[in-house]
Structure 1
Amino acid sequence: MKMLPLRVMGRLLRIQNLRSFSTINHNSEGTTLKCLSDAIKRNDLMAVEKIVYEQDPYEVRRVKMPTYTTEEEPNLIASSAPTRLIGCLCEPEANAINWMEISKGPPTKCFCGHWFKLVDFEEYLANLTY
């Protein structure tokens, strides 16, 4: 039996409660998987690694935002909670982070003009592009 790398196992343990999120993924055989639980049931470790590594919404990382966001097309932020604390580097040369708490509902505008919207995992993963 093939073992998962430690980084994948750690992320898998962190998001074990997200097994019911809906998204479309493809496993190594080309068949469609609806969610992480399908990949685990099929014991497809490559699909599990892809889903866990690439779609972990709790991973702390720097996300490159589009150069222009609007209220109609904001940056989507995933959360299972009603609010989430995020940071925005308003300018590339900025040395301070603008922290703000966003809530589910209408999009929130940062001081720099970027728009952010807090959504459920289903909406976040449905709009995720590679």
Structure 2
Amino acid sequence: MASLSGRICLRAAAIRNNVTYTPVRFCKMMSDPMEHATGIEKRELLAKAAGNDDPFDMKVFKRGAGTKETPNLIPSAFDARIVGCICNEDQTYVQWMWLQKGTQKRCECGHWFKLVEKAPL
């Protein structure tokens, strides 16, 4: 209902001023979202503008050798992070585990993981 009354007001204002506004014109008049964003949303937009398409490290990592001497390094800005391991290629579930800062953890499939510090966004 509010959007209908808003459209009527816009049309009335356009008729009074002898100006024709189309929805495309209103979209072009909107300012850049970067100007309105604040906090974590703004930092995310700035990171994406700088070329970092995954500022929160949410994409899937390819597992490496994962030995005890060279574990798979998982970045985190916190003291702990939950990690999922798909042990076999045709496995239909994810083996979840918590990684704690400063310790290595071994998955049931034998791969080792270690949490490394990453600067927060």
Same fold at TM > 0.5: yes
Q: Distance in 2 between matches of 1:100 and 1:93?
A: 20
Q: Which protein shows a greater Rg?
A: 2
Residues 11, 96 of structure 1: CA spacing in aligned structure 2 closer, same or farther, 3 A cutoff?
A: farther
- Aligned pair 1:61/2:91, yes or no? no
- Count residues with an aligned counterpart: 83
Q: Alignment identity in percent? A: 31
Residues 119, 15 of structure 1: CA spacing in aligned structure 2 closer, same or farther, 3 A cutoff?
A: farther
Unaligned 5+ residue runs, structure 2?
1-33
| Alpha-carbon distance, 1:113 to partner | 0.6
| Alpha-carbon distance, 1:53 to partner | 2.1
- Give the alignment's TM-score, normalised by structure 2: 0.56
Unaligned 5+ residue runs, structure 1?
1-5, 17-35, 37-44, 123-130
Residues 91, 12 of structure 1: CA spacing in aligned structure 2 closer, same or farther, 3 A cutoff?
A: farther
Residues 13, 62 of structure 1: CA spacing in aligned structure 2 closer, same or farther, 3 A cutoff?
A: same
Moved runs in structure 1, 4+ residues, more than 6 A?
9-12
By percentage of residues, which structure has more helix?
A: 2
| Alpha-carbon distance, 1:95 to partner | 0.3
RMSD of the alignment, in Å? 3.1
Q: Distance in 2 between matches of 1:76 and 1:11?
A: 27
- Aligned pair 1:106/2:103, yes or no? yes
